Amino acid sequence: MAAGDEDAYRELFLRHWDAVYSSALLLSRSPDIAEDIAQDIFVTLWEKRAQLAHIEKLEAYFFIMARNLLYSRLRKLASQDAYRQYLQDYHHEHTHSGAEARTEFKELEDAIHTAIRRLPPQQQKAFRMSRFEGMRHDEIAQAMGVSRITIKSYIVQALATLRKLLAHYPGTLLLIMLTITP
């Protein structure tokens, strides 16, 4: 996987998903948060795959990643109200005309949809069903005729690709999460 082999990544994902999810669930006590953390871990693994060759104890690495991601999430939740206020103040200070704001939003929306169209067909389909149609992973798996774990893998890989493709847009990841996550 460290060399970029997608089949090796898929195998790692299939072998370790349950353990990673279980660790995240143990730490968070929330199935939704645990699933988000597990997906974030596998996205990070793919993004930092070149560094994996140096990891000796993968299970310990997963647990530490889950712990750190949970702590980060809790810190974010604690400061969420302050952040919302900051965004409101910033928006108020930098308000564009209605037409200009609509144009910017349309450009960003077009960029997001263009990035989604660049995904492999199965990832694209799973991502759209999840984010646009609000379907759960098991529903998508049934509709596509694949396993639930395969759907999770598709969505994790899609998110990693979208992060790369949209990295030059400020705040894009936040926009993706806020506007198209069910």
Please report the pLDDT score of residue 112 as a whole number: 82
Mean pLDDT along residues 136-161:
90
Residue 172: predicted pLDDT: 44
Tell me the CA distances in angstroms from 8 to 4, 108, 160, 176, one per residue in order: 8, 34, 16, 28
- Per-residue pLDDT at 164 exceeds 90: no
Does pLDDT of 54 surpass 80? no
* Domain 98-180 fold: Arc Repressor Mutant, subunit A (1.10.10)
Is 140:126 a contact under the CB 8 Å cutoff? yes
* CATH number of the 6-78 domain: 1.10.1740
- Rounded Cα distance, 98 and 80, in Å: 27
Answering whether pTM is above 0.75, one says no
Structure tokens of 143? 């509709």
Q: 124 falls in which pLDDT band (50, 70, 90)?
A: very high
- The segment(s) of the chain belonging to CATH 1.10.10.10 are 98-180
What is the average per-residue pLDDT within 136-153?
Answer: 91
In this model, does residue 95 exceed pLDDT 90? no
* CATH 1.10.1740 domain extents, the chain: 6-78
How confident is the model over 18-34, as pLDDT tens digits?
A: 888 888 888 777 788 88
